[in-house]
Amino acid sequence: MKAVGYQKSLPVTDKNVLLDIELPKPEAAGRDLLVKVESISVNPVDTKIRKRVQPEHGSYQVLGWDAAGTVESVGGDVTLFKPGDKVWYAGAINRPGSNSEYHLVDERIVALKPESLDFAQAAALPLTSITAWEILFDRLLLAKESKGKLLIIGAAGGVGSIMIQLAKSLTSLDVIATASREESRAWVTSLGADYVIDHSQPLLPQLESINKSDIEYVVSLTHTGDYLSQIVDLIAPQGKLALIDDPDVLDIMPFKRKSVSVHWELMFTRSLFETEDMIEQHKLLTSVAKMVDAGTIKTTLTNQYGLICAENLIRAHALLESDSSRGKIVLTGF
């Protein structure tokens, strides 16, 4: 089968950073589905793994986790799906990725894709939807009746784009998004943000100017280390901070005075450790699919980069590494 992989961690400017390769077609067993991949999307985790993980000598690392496709076959223990089902999912970080014609994935982290979306539109959503959902409802413990203010730092990216929509649909919070470019501001506004401030400028004065200081919930999606001292000042006493990125240093001692709780989110935790509640990702993706089909949530696809091949994936990695992307980059077909 066709796939895209790498044998050596290289900068995105190197022509060999990703390669078109041929691999054996895998077979489904146990609770695995074998999915014929139709569309994939590219996430910052793809670039992080590429730069940090060196494959064993002579072997290929296949990246990619977001996928939408058709179930080709099922393992003997599968109960949730059958061949021919159209599905979406975000995969597992400790298994080969979805940048391949066929992909094995555990049924517990898969759901039927929204009927109203094509494969490309659907592929944009799983990883970011899981991340945003788990932050809001598993880490911050928000609910429909939750009130107050939610500040999303770096809101124009993939996770922020879906988090705005989930927060507006499933909580009673005021959503304040940060964006520094005009097109990014327009994007987060179109997704439902109540207020937009510029993260390239001091945050607290902007919040005070709209009477929205003392933020109960802060979600930092990028460059958390750069914003940490500002978050200390703007977060409310007994507030909650959630983050997904990898700051070099995370000194949370200044939060002690305000009794602020700090929450890490990695959407791969359930699949990585095969936790007892691993099937919750199947359930939440099913819920998101229903919201999409009801018109409550829209796809966050913003760039279609053509076929799934090394050349186009390199372009996608370069855009993500530029820190100037908004929404999601999707590739379709081989």
Rounded distance, CA 14 to CA 144, Å?
48
pLDDT in tens, 115-149: 999 999 999 999 999 999 999 999 999 999 999 99
Q: Residue 203: how many CB atoms within 10 A of its CB?
A: 22
Q: Tell me the CATH number for domain 128-264.
A: 3.40.50.720
For the entire predicted model, the pTM comes to 0.96
Domain coordinates of the chain in residue numbers? Answer: 2-125+276-332, 128-264
**C-alpha 177, offset from chain centre:** 17
Q: Tell me the CATH number for domain 2-125+276-332.
A: 3.90.180.10
Same fold across 2-125+276-332 and 128-264: no
Rounded distance, CA 6 to CA 54, Å?
9
Helix (H) or strand (E) holding 208: helix 203-209
190 to 139, 162, 276, 286: CA distances (angstroms) = 26, 12, 38, 24
Task: Give the β-pairing of 67-74 and 149-153.
Answer: unpaired
**DSSP string of 90-137?**
---TTS--S-BSEEEEEGGGEEEPPTTS-HHHHHTSHHHHHHHHIIII
Instruction: Tell me which residue of 275, 245, 236 sits closest to 138, measured CA to CA.
Output: 275
Rounded distance, CA 105 to CA 34, Å?
7
Give the N- to C-terminal CA distance of the chain in Å, as an integer: 10
Rounded distance, CA 31 to CA 11, Å?
36
pLDDT along the chain (334 residues), means of 10: 96 96 98 98 95 92 97 98 98 97 98 98 97 98 97 95 97 97 95 97 97 96 96 98 95 97 98 98 98 96 96 96 90 97
Rounded distance, CA 285 to CA 269, Å?
16
Residue 58 has a pLDDT of: 86
Residue 184 has a pLDDT of: 95
Helices 126-133 and 158-170 pack at an angle, to 10 degrees, of 50
Residue 149 has a pLDDT of: 98
Residue 162 has a pLDDT of: 96
